Amino acid sequence: MSSRRPDPLAQVSDFEIRLLKLFRSVVECGGFSAAESALGIGRSAISQQMSDLEQRLGLRLCQRGRAGFALTEEGREVYQSTLQLLAALESFRTEVNGLHQHLRGELNIGLTDNLVTIPHMRITNALARLKVQGPDVRIHIRMTPPSEVEQGVLDGRLHIGVVPQVGALSGLEYQALYDERSLLYCAVGHPLFYVDDLQLEDERLNAQEAIAPTFRVPPEVQSHYQALNCTASASDREGMAFLILTGRYIGYLPDHYAQAWVQQGRLRALKASTRYYDINLAAVTRKGRRAHLVLESFLDALAEA
């Protein structure tokens, strides 16, 4: 073997790193025989792998034989460089693993209005878990209509959104979160507020001025609005609540959102056994998105919540 490698070492692969770890163990144990139990392999295998390392480095690393084990001058230098390399690799591994435990970055969320009153609170609980995992994560919430939430996720302004699932848009992935029930309400002061459901005919109910949504709803939900006398419209559920609370209109609201006004005696549901519809709320993310550790951690928290 020549004393010097004619060409510099092109790269350090996983194989070389494995051989360097073996070399470190041999040096620290003081020889091949003493390293057998530490490495769990026989002396001949250790000798072969040391020869492989010397061949790859183009250097004689140690003297072995009847005189015993001893490092060459090059071997002592390679040993010190090996310690530095393996320490750097361990530091890299620790820091990368630490990113999973201490998240950093932003999470931009788009939400349909009035989800905070849903009793299950999956979004709230997931955000709490995310902040425990990553105290430095910055969370930004935008309250916008469902169509704008989906568009924001598509163009990358939002990492994730939560919307009523009307129909799957190309380029988006949907993860079911809640089933939400909406009932038909009127407010105190409305002519129907004190009318018993048994005495309330559908013809009279359908003749009342009502509110239609301008946001997308599934086809099966549209029929509920088509049966009403819709003379007003609103772009979100809060707008519908404003109009219902005037006592001049009837309209559909999520039952969890209306519950506080019902308990206060300001709203009542009309024929709740028949005048209702259910809709699924889903988390929406972009297909083929780039890896984003904060987002993936939030999605995991949503699944666990």
pTM here is 0.64
CATH number of the CATH domain containing 160: 3.40.190.10
Same-domain status, 90 and 205: no
CATH number of the CATH domain containing 81: 1.10.10.10
Same-domain status, 273 and 200: yes
pLDDT digits (tens, 9 = 90+) for 170-217: 899 998 888 899 999 999 999 999 999 999 999 999 999 999 999 888
Same-domain status, 184 and 270: yes
pLDDT digits (tens, 9 = 90+) for 3-62: 444 455 667 888 889 999 999 999 988 888 888 888 889 989 998 999 999 988 888 998
Which of residues 101, 133, 166 is at a domain's end?
101
Total domains in the fold of the chain: 3
Q: Which residue in 254, 247, 177 sits closest to 213, CA to CA?
A: 254
Q: Which residues pair with 269 in a beta bridge?
A: 185
Same-domain status, 220 and 199: yes
Which of residues 52, 85, 101 is at a domain's end?
101
Q: Which residue in 184, 181, 162 sits closest to 115, CA to CA?
A: 162
Q: Count other C-beta atoms under 10 Å from residue 296's C-beta.
A: 14
- Residue 300 tokens, joined: 């995991």
pLDDT digits (tens, 9 = 90+) for 38-54: 888 998 999 899 999 99
Domain that holds residue 233: 180-278
Same-domain status, 160 and 112: yes
* 3 domain-assigned: no
pLDDT at 249: 98
Same-domain status, 77 and 112: no
- Residue 165 tokens, joined: 């699932």
Same-domain status, 92 and 111: no
* 7 domain-assigned: no
